[in-house]
Chains A and B, each alone.
Chain A
Amino acid sequence: MWFYVARRFNLFVLTLAILFLLVFLMHKALPGDPLINLSGITNPTFHQLELLDQQYQLDGSVINQYLAFATERLSGNFGLSLTSAQPILNEITQRLPATIELCIYAMILALLVGIPFGVLAAFRYKKMTDLLIVSVSLVFYSIPIFWLGVIGIMFLGLEFQLLPVAGRLNLLYQIEPITGFTLIDIMLSDLTSKAQALRDAFFHLVMPTVTLALFPITVVIRITRAAMLEELNTNHIKAAEARGVSPLIIVLHHALPNAMQPVLAQVSLQLSTLLTSAMVTEVIFSWPGIGTWLMSAIYQRDFPVISAGILICAGLIIVISIVSDLIAIVGTTKRRSLRHGKN
């Protein structure tokens, strides 16, 4: 068991090293002064210049430069933003919770909606319900996310004025960011009108979350349906059917727990898609997360921010996928033996 954990850890370190290498190579290809692009200090004094030279070792060999770059970034020094001249790490800690909040709610919504419909489709395989669920999910699978967001803004936001179209919270409420998650922050705050603030924050969340969740919902439906179909064909299900167990208990109690394993494993693979969709969603709904931050950096050619953004986004995905992999390996002996061909 510890052998597998060590293997995963090994993979984690190597993947991270390759990610740093890719970003380092990107820095090499960037136009402009490499020192400015790395540090974000536009007009360094002589003293600073000496210090930066020592930090990033631009006089050294390429390997030294790479190692220096990786150590700086790993120790939390992402440099300054070219536009705001603020340390990038501070901006990340401000922005990242908003994105994570949006992603978590969308993922929860996707699982809550996707799994029941997937199970229902598998249970009514090749019947009207199944066909309907599969076709509707295919339609939503094909809608480009930005079009969906725009339609949502047009009808729900402007035409019927049901939901707010931008931001996280009405400016009336002054909430101190403690965790960065609006809902938790409101709970922690000493506001007199907590209930109204919560309501407002919730209404702000609805449209971005639903827009972001629609694509994962369809994916979860497909994965759950496929996993359940496979599970319903196994012998222990047939045995249970022969014993006269009611179909509801068979599906919920015998098939679903087994089918959840592959579903959760595949859902963690969807995270990178979720994060990019979140970036587009943030741009549409002016959600102050890492996506809007990165996009404005791209428009302004703020290279230190761009490279930091890639490192953070990809690093986050790597960490989450390794952790979910570890949980899956610890949780099921079947997977452990499958991986290495020992029965």
Chain B
Amino acid sequence: MARTSHIYQDEIIPSPLQQIWRNFATSPLAMLGLWIFAIFMLISIFAPLLAPYPQGYQHSSALLMPPSWHPEGHVAFFFGTDDLGRDIFSNLIYGTRTTFGASILVTFIALFFGCIIGIFSGMSHGLQSSILNHILDATLAIPSLLLAIVFVAISGPGITNVMLAVGISLTPQFMRATHNAVHHELSKEYVTATKLDGANKSQIFFHSILPNILDALVIQITLSISIAIIDIATLGFLKLGVQSPRSEWGAMLSEGLDLIFLAPWNVAMPGLAIFCSVLSINMIGNGLQRALKERID
């Protein structure tokens, strides 16, 4: 008796999420991206514990110290110091919070609001859908970074305003992605079948559509995090972003610009940090897209 039930248990069909994970894990590049992403995540959570010096602390005896692998460098300042004697390594670690951590937070806030509006506009039809669609098109026509820049220009710089600005500028993209995904699913036959079975709108949405648009949303999330990092850093670079003493990668880069001849590490290190974080997220996104495609094939 027991044996027969075992036979059925032996063959477990992996759930869609498991299938995606298995496909995802076969790509070394995608896994590398995931690991780098996890490290950045840990750094941004435990920043005060990891940083050797407090944020913005000025070592007046060690100005413009080169990185530790340079003959004149010192291991106490791993990535060197800037013109005010601030340790670049500590600043980068704190900057992970403002650039990387904030962008993830902002993406999820934008996801929440964008999804709700996108679902409403996607599920509606007729005049209501048409009006929402036009509003979407208009907000999408304004470049997201321009919107963020203008928002910060009006409300003043600072971490909260930067996050709000980037969040507002990311929301239309989520609205559009959700709207399109919902609309696409609605026209499929299995949805018509559930409709004929007498399912109401919320049943159709939660049981038929939501599980099938999750993959589109996940891809949009990875895309948005990388856009958010670049946007926050660009705002910082244009001196509109997070203000000192709070450190931020883009702002560090623009401060280092004046000293680019004397101390190129002031520009290279923050740029490298932005590049690595964005690259890791893009590698994850690429891997996810490939995994989803292979599951459907």
Chain A contact residues, CB within 8 Å of chain B: 11, 14-16, 18-19, 22, 26, 29-31, 134-135, 138-139, 141-147, 150-151, 154, 158, 272-273, 275-276, 279-280, 283, 295, 298-299, 301, 306, 310, 313-314, 317-318, 321
Q: Scoring B residues 265 to 296 as 1 if CB is less than 8 Å from chain A, else 0, what string do you get?
A: 00100010011001100110010000000000
Contacts of A275 in B (CB 8 A): 143, 146
- Residues from chain A with Cβ under 8 Å of B139 in the complex: 18, 22
Report whether A18 and B138 are in contact in the complex, using a CB–CB cutoff of 8 Å: yes
Tell me if B143 and A144 are in contact (CB < 8 A).
no
Q: Which of B144, B150, B239, B240 contacts A26 (CB 8 A)?
A: B150
Q: Is the CB of B137 within 8 A of A15?
A: yes
Residue of A nearest to B257 (CB): A150
Task: Say yes or no: A147 contacts B143, CB within 8 Å.
Answer: no
CA gap between A139 and B181 in the complex, in Å: 28
Say whether B149 faces chain A, with CB atoms less than 8 Å apart. Answer: yes
Contact B234 A301 (CB under 8 A): no
Tell whether B50 is near chain A: CB-to-CB under 8 Å. no
Select which of B153, B264, B283, B286 is within 8 A of A154 by beta carbon.
Answer: B264
Contact (A146, B143) CB under 8 Å given A26-B150, A138-B286: no
B238 contact from A283, A301, A314, A317, Cβ within 8 A: A283
Cα distance, A85 to B123, chains bound together (Å): 50
Which of A298, A299, A313 has the most chain B CB atoms closer than 10 A to its own CB? A298
- Beyond A15-B134, A310-B150, is A142–B142 a contact (Cβ under 8 Å)? no
Residues of B within 8 A of A31 (CB): 154
- The CA of A135 and the CA of B150, in the complex, are separated in Å by 35
Q: Is B218 an interface residue (CB 8 A)?
A: no
Q: Does B107 have its Cβ within 8 Å of any Cβ on chain A?
A: no
Q: Is the CB of A143 within 8 A of B275?
A: yes
Nearest to A158 among chain B residues (CB) is B261
* A295 surroundings in chain B (CB, below 8 A): 149, 238
Contact assessment for A135 and B29 in the assembled complex, using a CB-CB cutoff below 8 Å = yes
Nearest opposing residue in chain B for A215, CB measure: B230
B-side contacts of A146, CB under 8 Å: 233-234, 237, 250, 253-254
A22 near B279: Cβ-Cβ < 8 Å: no
Shortest B59–chain A CB gap in Å is: 26
The verdict on A15 contacting B275 (CB below 8 Å), with A26-B150, A280-B238, A313-B146 known, is no
Cα of A26 to Cα of B145 in the assembled complex, Å: 16
A321-B275 in contact given A30-B154, A150-B260, A301-B153 (Cβ < 8 Å): no
